[in-house]
Amino acid sequence: MTDTNAAPAPKNPSPAAPGFVVQLMQPGIGRLAVMTIVIFIAMAALSPEHFLTIGNASSMAFQFPEFAILSLAMMLAMLTGGIDLSIIGIADLSAIIAALILSHFAGANATGVEAGGAMALAIVVSLAIGCVAGMFNGIVIAYFGLPAILATLGSGLVFTGLGFAITGGSAVVGFPGVFAVIGNADLFGIPVPLIIFVSLAVAVWFLLERTAFGIKVQMLGTNPLATRFAGIDDAGVTIRTFTYSGGLAAVAGLIIMSRSNSAKADYGSGYLLLTILICVLGGINPYGGFGKVSGLILAVLSLQFLSSGFNMLQASNFFTQFLWGSLLLVVMAVNTIQFRRRAARSSSKAHV
């Protein structure tokens, strides 16, 4: 007997589907790819003498990896049905500790083994702090039952406050020149931050699509109760997921620190809304259970093209923020309607 519950949803939109422009914002990789291409063509047409240049392409390749990696961290949290509002605090705190290690054990004039050893120690400690901070979030959510949005909002304030307490609100400077490689160098013409992002994106894709843990994460986001009855350690999955999220945030913090040649407790504060927008625009279900790394990458490119284009058109930063917020609301509304339609179709088929 055929299991009607397992029947896949039809790929073609229903007759009542919204228009073409709205369809582009629905959680479909093909539609998102088309939207990315349209944005690129539009920005190129508005400012071809600036947008279509090698310099602009190189600039974008150096700019977007830091918030793209933060978006990967946000994606992992959202797949569980939660959210991680502490990623900026984790990134800044991890970077501050790394900066203090570099300035104390090496200094701006250090070279050779001294600089390399301090850099290795700073990176390892920074990643460890990020993972521990993420693990703390997971434990609070899994064992104390706090909603992820409240737990990570509170922990994010704690991490940021620790950063201000350690530095007194000032920037930490004085790094060896070799540390600039992480955020400002290129390898065979490819920016190092881009290489780091692509490597992490492939790792996250493999984790979610090719491992049992990835299946558990998506099951947890889809139906936590069913996951528990299936014998899956939902607390362990939650803690592990947020630990990975914290580690990714620490990597982003190191890139931001290297690009700016300093670390401060309020760097990257404007990225939080952007990471949520990227995830939602990329088709990650804000209620958990569904999302693709490919969709996130396309969303990153779309917003980077828009941002670069607006900068060249000398648009106000306030207008950009207004656009990001409006786009987030519209995309969430459209995605929610789409998810509800899919659920309704699945429910109707189950009763046939």
CATH of domain 31-39+61-311: 1.10.3470
DSSP H/E element including 187: strand 186-187
Q: What is the pLDDT of residue 151?
A: 96
Nearest-angstrom CA–CA distance, 119 and 218: 36
Q: Specify whether the CB–CB gap between 137 and 151 falls below 8 A.
A: yes
* Residue in the block written with tokens 């918030």: 67
pLDDT score at 348:
66
Residue 190: the pLDDT is 93
**What pLDDT score was predicted for residue 207?**
95
Contacts of 285 (CB under 8 A, 6+ apart): 27, 78, 79, 221, 291, 335, 339
Backbone angles phi, psi at 252, to 5 degrees: -60, -40
Q: Among residues 133, 138, 149, which one has the least CA distance to residue 82?
A: 149
Two structure tokens written together for 160: 């940021």
| Residue-range domain boundaries for the chain | 31-39+61-311
CB 170 within 8 A of CB 262: no
pLDDT of amino acid 296: 94
User: Mind listing the pLDDT tens digit of every residue in the chain (352 residues)?
Assistant: 444 444 344 444 443 334 334 433 444 778 788 888 988 998 899 888 888 888 889 999 999 999 999 999 999 999 999 999 999 999 999 999 999 999 888 877 777 888 889 999 999 999 999 999 999 999 999 999 899 999 999 999 999 999 999 999 899 998 898 999 999 999 988 999 999 999 999 999 999 999 999 999 999 988 888 888 888 899 999 999 999 999 999 999 999 999 999 999 999 888 998 999 899 888 898 888 888 999 999 999 989 998 888 888 777 777 777 877 787 787 777 777 776 776 666 566 655 5
* Residue 132 contacts residue 139 (beta carbons within 8 Å): no
